[in-house]
Amino acid sequence: MNVQTFPSRLLERAVDEFAKLPSIGRRTALRLVLHMLRQSPETVDRFAEAITALRHEVKFCSVCNNISDTDVCSICSNPKRDASLICVVEHIQDVMMVESTQQFNGLYHVLGGVIDPMGGVGPQNLNISSLESRIAQGGVREVILALSTTMEGDTTNFYLLKLLKPSGVQVSTLARGVSFGDELERTDEITLGRALVNRVPL
């Protein structure tokens, strides 16, 4: 879309910002902006306030690195969760995906990605040292590696297995109900739930 097609610089600026979102092209961005223009000023203000508060006030759990409104997230601070069981995932959205299965009652650890030498991501770029620290504190009997079944996910699995083996904790991985090459967030809840229940030693 050419700059000349915009009747307003404010409209163009808003479209430019929306188009920066993942999977949002300029045509879709324009539709979203025009939709916002049809809303009441109060509705748009609430939208803007929610985004601003999200960016400035959201925290990352000091224990598991999940998104939280407090220093320690509601999962880590829940006394009913099994603290001896830690499910390691790549991203925050994976925590929500596993939670939706209602098959896991332990705690989580968000790595922030997987080892990807081609992409310039090494172990030092992930939240691995904090995982080691949690295990070193004691009380953890099993670590479930719930990473994507990709080459990078498997590389990270084996790196963590080697790293954690001296600690004596049991390390397991998802059953292969999750197809090779699948990202966890694209797996349906039933398949993911079964893969958790039927996890296997790594």
Does 197 or 10 have the greater pLDDT score? Answer: 10
Mean pLDDT in the chain? 87
Q: Of 3-17, 48-62, 71-85, 98-112, where does mean pLDDT reach its minimum?
A: 3-17
**Annotated domain spans of the chain:** 3-57, 78-201
pLDDT in tens, 45-80: 999 999 999 999 999 999 999 999 999 999 999 999
Residue whose C-alpha is closest to residue 193's, from 98, 93, 109: 98
**pTM (predicted TM-score):** 0.75
The b-or-e profile of 135-168 (16+ CB within 10 A means b, else e) is beeeebebbbbbbbbbebbbebbebbbeebeeee
pLDDT at 115 exceeding the cut of 60: yes
Residue whose C-alpha is closest to residue 88's, from 131, 121, 149: 131
Considering the segment(s) 3-57 as one domain, its CATH architecture is: Orthogonal Bundle (1.10)
Output the pLDDT for position 193. Answer: 63
CATH class of residue range 78-201 = alpha beta
